[in-house]
Amino acid sequence: MKVAVVTGGTSGIGLATAHLFARRGWAVAVIARDPDRLRDTEAALVAYGRPVLAISADVADAEAVDAAAARIEREFGPIRAWVNNAMATIVNPADQITPAEYRRVTETTYLSQVYGTLAALRFMKPRNRGAIIQVSSGLGIRAAPLQAPYCAAKFAVSGFTDALRSELIHDRVDVSLSVVYLPAVNTPQFNWARNRTGHGQYAPDPVYDPRLCAEAIVATAEKPSREVWVGHSTVMMAAAQALMPGYADSKAATMWSAQLTDAPAPDKAGNLFAPVPGDVGIDGRFSDRTKATRSAYWTSRDRDLLVASLTGVVALGLFGVATLARAPRRLLPRR
């Protein structure tokens, strides 16, 4: 039996991912905070006819995450894939965010991925098998205004994962570590994120379907790749940051207003410190602007093949130039 674990699996991308795993025959364990949504999620997933386990835990609690992993192993057997998807954010200028808010975003968005990875690795490493998937964001490649704690946490995820991956290579451990970078996605997160800007949070175009993200995540669990970029906008952010970081800074500055509604809105406490009650589902409020594609994602294997192809073309061209340079020249008769 293939066993997958999804943190933050009762709404948005996590819920879409849990559904897709179950639809493809995986046993699914979902870890989240809200008991009511966990109960509803479990009821929805069992309809696929596969084993389902819903565990209430705060992913910022290392002991709780470790206990959840042990329970899943005990009741389901070996964990094949662990998806670190849980996150939280606050929308506000960096110098108006409190230390407690910085700490909580870091715990929920970064340290939760550390704790989940370590919990999974304790079981996967002795078996020398398994896939760990970190769900990140284009904002973990190119930061934007108004979400400094979230951007910093996602940057930290990449650093942690790269360091750990090199250690696993050194130890010859065949457990894969993948990072999936996501674009703006139509999820309920825009409805319940903590926001103290005086305006509602808005998803700037292009907005993608959570089910596209689920496709990329599940595909990575089944066929691991070092990195995955979902959506054209994520690819463009990565390219701009790598090639023209100064331009990327200026472009990011314009995203201040693009992330906020024009109309004023009251501040929201959001789900930063406690879950927001109610059934929220997979989709947010931007369905009328959501791209319907299910295939707009690229893996590092695609990139490596492209680089290899371009390198081959360049090498062939240089070889041709060198060959012509060495070829004997035919002297033309003087007139």
- Give the mean pLDDT of the chain: 92
Known catalytic residues are 150
Q: ∠ at Cα 120 (116, 125), nearest 5°?
A: 140
3-300: CATH number: 3.40.50.720
- Give the pLDDT of residue 300: 81
Task: Classify strands 207-208 and 290-291 as parallel, antiparallel or unpaired.
Answer: parallel
Higher pLDDT, 322 or 241: 241
pLDDT digits (tens, 9 = 90+) for 177-216: 999 999 999 999 999 999 999 999 999 999 999 999 999 9
Q: ∠ at Cα 24 (174, 116), nearest 5°?
A: 45
- Average pLDDT score over residue span 213-231: 97
Quote the CA–CA distance of 224 and 83 in Å, as a whole number: 12
- Give the pLDDT of residue 310: 45
Residue 319 pLDDT class (50, 70, 90 cuts)? low
- Average pLDDT score over residue span 74-79: 98
- Give the pLDDT of residue 185: 98
- Give the pLDDT of residue 246: 97
pTM, two decimals, is: 0.91
Residue 279 pLDDT class (50, 70, 90 cuts)? confident
- Give the pLDDT of residue 332: 47
Sketch the domain layout of the chain as residue ranges. 3-300
- Average pLDDT score over residue span 69-76: 98
Has residue 305 got a pLDDT over 90?
A: no
Report the candidate in 95, 117, 58, 4 with the shortest Cα–Cα distance to residue 271. Answer: 58
- Give the pLDDT of residue 304: 65
